[in-house]
Amino acid sequence: MSDRSVPPPTTAHPSAGAERRHHARVVYHGPARIITRHGASDGQVLDLSFKGALLALNPAPPLGEDCAVEVTLGESGPIVRLEGHVAHVEDGHLGLFCERIDLDSACHLRRLVELNLGDANLLERELAALVRGE
């Protein structure tokens, strides 16, 4: 995989509620598209992890709604697609819990996380937890 397909790193940060999370989130601001059975809406992704995403989206689909989120990395880079359900909605923000991710999206997201965390051991722990289903 070419490094040109992944945008330059931003800073990793523990999001609110990180004490409950097993997966580090990385700050990534960019366009996102959320797709539900009722159609598609555009919003902004605020952060990403292997198990979810936080988006600015108004109005947001209802809690529990099945959806997919597509995030384009860079101006014309690869698309990361996460499929899951709306886990929380608050103040114009939507939290997606990811239940499925395709292999290409996982590879692109892995590279983004790797660049942001700057710690290969932490990334390996993240991936091991994901495989174990944590």
Q: What's the pLDDT tens digit per position in 66-96?
A: 999 999 998 888 999 999 999 999 999 999 9
Q: How far apart are CA 127 and CA 113, in angstroms?
A: 11
Q: Is the pLDDT of residue 18 over 50?
A: no
Contact 36, 27 (CB under 8 A): no
Q: What is the DSSP string of 90-116?
A: ETTEEEEEEEEE-HHHHHHHHHHHHHH
Which domains are assigned to the chain? Answer: 13-132 (2.40.10.220)
**CB contact set of 65 (below 8 Å; sequence gap of 6+):** 36, 37, 85, 86
pLDDT of residue 10: 37
